[in-house]
C-alpha cells in the first residue's frame, strides 16, 4: 500500500496533505492524463462517481459515442479527486476506442492511481443502430 508517513486519517485532512492536488482550485481548460488522489478519510467504505458526460469515438466509423459511466471503488488509503476525474475523462473526447476497452482503461487508471481494494467501472454506451452496449470492468477483490 502506498501511504504517506504522518498522515493521520482520523483527523480532518490538512492543507499539507492536499498539497499534491494541482487541479482542484485552479483554472484548467484541457484534459489531463491521470487522476489525482487525496488521503482517504476513515470509515468510507464505497465511493461512487456517476456521469452522463463521457464521450469518445467509434474506432471504425469515427462517429461520436456518448456513454453513461458509473465508477465505484472501495478506498484503502486514497480517494480520487472528482475534478481531476472529470478532466481525465475529457481525454476520451477525441479518442477512438471501443466501449469495452474504455471501461477497462478507466478501471486501470483508478486502480493504478488510488490503489483501492476493488474498482468496478460500468459503462453504458447510448444506443447507435438500436443497440446499447454495456461493459463492466472490475479489478481487485
Indicate the DSSP class of residue 96.
Answer: B
45, 58, 77, 108: the catalytic one is 58
3-state SS, residue 49: strand
Single out the residue of 2, 30, 35 nearest to residue 108, CA to CA: 35
Given the residues 8, 16, 52, 65, the one annotated as active site: 65
Give the whole-angstrom CA distance, residue 26 versus residue 133.
35
H/E run at residue 82? helix 82-89
52 is catalytic: no
Active site residue 58: yes
Give the sheet arrangement for strand 64-74, strand by strand. Answer: 47-57, 64-74, 118-128, 131-140
Q: Which residue has the cell 488521503?
A: 39
Is there a contact between 44 and 79 (Cβ–Cβ < 8 Å)? yes
Catalytically active residues, by annotation: 58, 65
Amino acid at each position: 500500500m502506498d501511504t504517506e508517513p504522518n498522515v493521520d486519517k482520523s483527523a480532518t485532512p490538512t492543507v499539507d496533505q492536499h498539497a499534491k492536488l494541482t487541479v482542484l482550485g485552479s483554472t484548467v481548460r484541457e484534459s489531463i492524463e491521470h487522476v489525482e488522489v487525496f488521503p482517504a478519510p476513515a470509515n468510507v467504505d464505497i465511493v461512487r462517481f456517476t456521469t452522463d458526460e463521457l464521450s469518445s469515438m467509434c474506432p471504425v466509423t469515427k462517429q461520436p459515442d456518448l456513454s453513461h459511466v458509473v465508477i465505484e471503488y472501495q478506498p484503502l488509503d486514497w480517494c480520487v479527486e472528482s475534478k481531476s476525474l472529470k478532466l481525465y475523462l475529457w481525454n476520451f473526447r477525441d479518442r477512438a476506442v471501443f466501449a469495452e476497452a474504455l471501461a477497462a482503461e478507466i478501471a486501470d487508471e483508478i486502480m493504478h492511481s488510488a490503489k483501492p481494494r476493488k474498482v468496478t467501472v460500468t459503462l453504458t454506451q447510448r444506443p447507435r443502430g438500436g443497440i446499447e452496449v454495456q461493459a463492466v470492468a472490475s479489478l481487485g477483490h
